[in-house]
Structure 1
């Protein structure tokens, strides 16, 4: 016999399952259906995704602003045609992107291919040394600074007027539809900076202009707008937070809007700067984890329904 005292389980007080609160019941189960949302269970992320889509559809039908933030992987995964469709349908009103988006979009528009073997190129010092890409983008940005254009605006105009694959270019089609694509450069993070042609003054001037354009767009999120960040773990979440505080400082109340992150992992800045902090005074944020090439087509399909 043990030397230690044991609790007497015969003294347990039981309760009926009928009177207990339960988080799951059979009415929440998934169903076989041709409708994607109807086929999802009303449980955890299934319920959240349905709620998010309903908020997006309400915003769409009320002609509220949709702003989409992007990382370069979205373009590399071949998803630009879906985002272009959102522009064509009048849903997407602004895009905020990092520098890698512009590089992949530019290469696909001009050369029909992008995304090099980084490991191989890094080993022999050839990574990011594509002469045509680097020289062309830097020339465009130097000229854009002289003409006082934004970074995304200048690239979109050039691609639309000159590139053979402009019809699938996010930048070109945004320029065509007069939708701002603001480009937020972090100097030293893009292959275009690996060149004597890179002009820090011109790059900073055009990207700063885009930041001011983005701040002006963010004010339109008030009372029902939607901000979705797709695949930018650091740059766009940080820029969005600063743009929001600038817009609130200048215009006052900007609240009661919806935010969401679609990414392959959970990231600190996306969670805090997109999902949580911006909607603390009104609104709601969501976080959906999955591969872009699967999740973004599902999202766009439901936004277009």
Structure 2
């Protein structure tokens, strides 16, 4: 049986104005074969797409001061720009609208069927289905309908990451998340969190292991001790991986990549090279939930 692989992410400190430092951090994470980096907003991930080739790019966007259509459009565009490496790091701030907000974004991403873009210049036709992008949603907090203008992206849908460990965040991750990042301090806390999330995920009608659990942490100590801790947590089902703390310095990330990553690779728990083109495939995620099957009315053509 193949060794279970650790998932690694690194956050780029919010508010950083030194573009060179952000580029260095993203390139360092890619050199260490990390799965993704997390940045504030969408502008920075868009810029980092030009300086990286394989590492995933997660944009942190909240649900309290944005609108679903705008978020879905920005992230769909990032997924095209990066060749299928986009993720949405959802920050809810206990926003009760968050589940409906994420549900709408997934509806919009799913409003273009695969293969519908034909680009037949001779016939003057761009799509084979004239209703492509049409959507309709009427819910408790949002009433929205029309046409989504971003065609289906390379991953079909960007990866959805939920940040937080409260009950609302756990439920949101169970219903709509691909990944959850939680501040898990101890091995026992990690096991308890992961077990609770699996129960919630099953209750939401999804497979128990559908959501990847990552612990947000700062590593300290000798490289061998850090590697031992990572292996113990992953093998002991306390977490599927880790996200290095957003306050970690670029030098700290370099040290981790130079000293800990080789140990993880020697133990067979971390890839030695990227073998897949998209973030969704880096993470071993299956096809995203299709709203075409679950909510067919949300994708019908809106009457004029």
TM-score by length of 2: 0.31
Bigger share in strand:
2
Higher helix fraction: Structure 1 or Structure 2? 1
Q: Which has the higher contact order (CA 8 A, sep 6+)?
A: 2
In the superposition, the TM-score normalised over structure 1's length comes to 0.31
Q: Quick check: which has more Rg, 1 or 2? A: 1
